[in-house]
A and B are shown apart, each in its own frame.
With several copies, the nearest count.
Chain A
Amino acid sequence: MRDIRLLTEMFIPGALVGPFTAANPGLGGVCTFVGEVRSDGDVEALELTHYEPLTLPGMHGLATQAFARFDLMGLLMVHRVGLMRPGEPIVCVSAAARHRRDCIDAVDFCMDHLKSAAWFWKRERRAGAWHWIEPRKDDHRDLARW
């Protein structure tokens, strides 16, 4: 069961994860990561741009890799694009598996690759001015783990 979405509007992770869990009967574990816009001091808003001909195929490709690598029953991968405020969810990845290790590792794997390899560009508005966010060194280090 694979559910990959790009959303342009605010979403409630629990409203996706509950039905996702129910859609994978017989599972042993579900691991979920939700990333939110951090309220970092003076950040007023975050905007995520994407290049549509690459973004969704990229997310499906990543899901295919995760299914090949881990023993999964289901994978939910939801990403916001557009304008977001601090406290709003940006990304939700949830993996259902018979065993704990597969679902935790699959979420970890998808997040590392979404952060650094998916086609999103992020900028923050602080004091009324927009600033692009560069990839962090940590993200490359995280990717090298796999």
Chain B
Amino acid sequence: MGVRVVLLGKLADLAGGGELQLTGPLDWAGLVAGLPEALAQAADDPRNKVAVNGALLADKASLQASEGDEIALLPPVSGG
């Protein structure tokens, strides 16, 4: 089943696509370790937010994702 990692904005470019599959369970360190190198470096930018199953995390370090969960990596927005 795996953990679905959704990449938004320019993070999708760094990943070569909008989505990755990793194996759970995953904490923040485990997630970063599983990302392609360019993306792993960018993911640590403190301006990026993380959501699990559509709920934003106050702190990336608190990430806990299990098989079947969806993690989203969200760079700063530029809407409107």
What is A's interface to B at a CB cutoff of 8 Å? 35, 48-49, 51, 53-54, 57, 79, 90-91, 100, 111, 114-123, 132-136
26 contacts between A and B (CB under 8 A): A35-B80, A48-B79, A49-B8, A51-B6, A51-B51, A51-B74, A53-B53, A54-B51, A54-B54, A54-B74, A57-B54, A79-B79, A100-B80, A115-B79, A115-B80, A116-B77, A118-B77, A118-B80, A119-B77, A121-B9, A121-B75, A121-B77, A132-B9, A132-B13, A133-B78, A135-B78
Instruction: Give every chain B residue within 8 A of A116 (Cβ-Cβ).
Output: 77, 79
Determine whether B60 belongs to the interface, using a CB cutoff of 8 Å to chain A.
no
- How many angstroms between the C-alpha atoms of A3 and B6 in the bound complex? 28
Asked if B42 is at the interface (CB within 8 A of a chain A CB), the reply is no
A118 proximity list for chain B (CB < 8 A):
77, 79-80
Q: Which of A48, A57, A123, A135 has the most CB of B within 10 A?
A: A135
Given contacts A51-B8, A122-B78, 9 further A-B contacts (CB under 8 A): A49-B8, A49-B12, A51-B72, A51-B74, A57-B54, A79-B79, A114-B79, A119-B79, A132-B10
List the A side residues contacting B70 at CB < 8 Å. Answer: 53
Taking the nearest CB of chain A, how far is it from the CB of B57, in angstroms?
12
Contact with A121, one of B51, B54, B78 (Cβ below 8 angstroms): B78
Query: Is B36 in the interface zone, CB < 8 Å from A?
Result: no
Identify the 6 closest CB pairs spanning chains A and B, nearest first. A53-B54, A120-B79, A121-B9, A115-B80, A132-B10, A133-B78
Tell me whether B72 and A120 are in contact (CB under 8 A): no
The CA-CA distance from A122 to B12 in the complex, in Å, is: 13
Complex formed: what's the CA distance from A48 to B6 in Å?
Answer: 16
